[in-house]
Amino acid sequence: MNSMSGKVALVTGAGRGVGRATAIRLAREGVRVIVNDLDGAELESTVNTIQSMDGMATGFVGNVCEPEIADELIQFCLTTYNQVDIIVNNAGYIWNGAMHNHTDEQWQAMLEVHATAPFRILRAFSEWMRPVAKAEMAAEGRASCRKVVNVSSVSGTTGSATQIAYATGKAAVIGLTKTLAKEWGRYNVTVNAVAFGHIETRLTQVYDELPPAIDVMGRKHKVGLASSQIKAMEKAVPLGRPGTVDEAAGAIYLLCTPDADYITGEVLTCSGGA
């Protein structure tokens, strides 16, 4: 039997890209997955894909930036599967601009989705996790090993021009990760982060003339990279190419497995060596 069979994972931002690939990867290993996203249609597609391969998945449509969503998400996990073993804080988007063009709204939006939302979800998780872990320690001498993987970026570890708010949010989640690893070690919860480089998603799609845009809560955000930027980036990456969403999901998956039970407080860079 697979060592992860029967575990329960919550993956945010799982309608597309890395989140979707992560949910599918976990489900393939027998994990029961709660998938969350803003976009109900994309979320349903993820759920249907997992179910079509005989996996178990349930969708929860909602905006992780809404203050009440964190408690609702955790409660939904417990109502549906009665446990939470893995949390992957993946939801996010970009809102770029040079420092002199950044607004307070832009700054707060990036901090909200990349740092505050994971904080709220993990705070809600702790209300269930701590008493359960204490009961397990009293009965068995040790709590079950639970996992948290937060998604960061090389923008947060090394900085990135025109991404002052995004980079700050992604750096903040690293502080969250390292602090919780110290606080939650006594409960046998590992807390790690993956900092991604150039991964092929809709946020990094290639364009030649005008950049494409995505809609986030009614606001259009320019995304993508010019073909000239892609060529320069590929030269800077030792592997010579961007990563796929499946490769990105593999990095998250590594930290969710029992093989990573003694790894905590770490930031795994997944960037092709850039």
Planar angle of CA 90, 23, 200, nearest 5 degrees? 60
Instruction: Tell whether the torsion through CA atoms of 75, 76, 80 and 85 is positive or negative.
Output: negative
Concerning whether 166 is annotated as a catalytic residue, the answer is: yes
Q: Answer for the pair 5, 30: CB distance below 8 angstroms, yes or no.
A: yes
Of the candidates 127, 20, 110, the residue with the CA atom closest to the CA atom of residue 70: 127
Q: Which amino acid is at 185?
A: G
The one catalytic residue in 166, 207, 253, 262 is 166
**Residues found in the chain:** 274
φ/ψ of 31, rounded to 5, equals: -80, 135
Dist. CA 138–CA 115, nearest whole Å: 33
Contacts of 270 (CB under 8 A, 6+ apart): 194, 195, 196, 197, 199, 243, 247, 248, 251
Planar angle of CA 30, 33, 34, nearest 5 degrees? 170
Of the candidates 243, 183, 250, the residue with the CA atom closest to the CA atom of residue 24: 250
φ/ψ of 232, rounded to 5, equals: -65, -40
Q: Which amino acid is at 78?
A: L
Indicate the burial class of 112 (C-beta count within 10 angstroms; 0-12, 13-18, 19 or more).
middle
Dist. CA 156–CA 96, nearest whole Å: 14
Q: Answer for the pair 71, 124: CB distance below 8 angstroms, yes or no.
A: yes
Residues classed as catalytic: 166
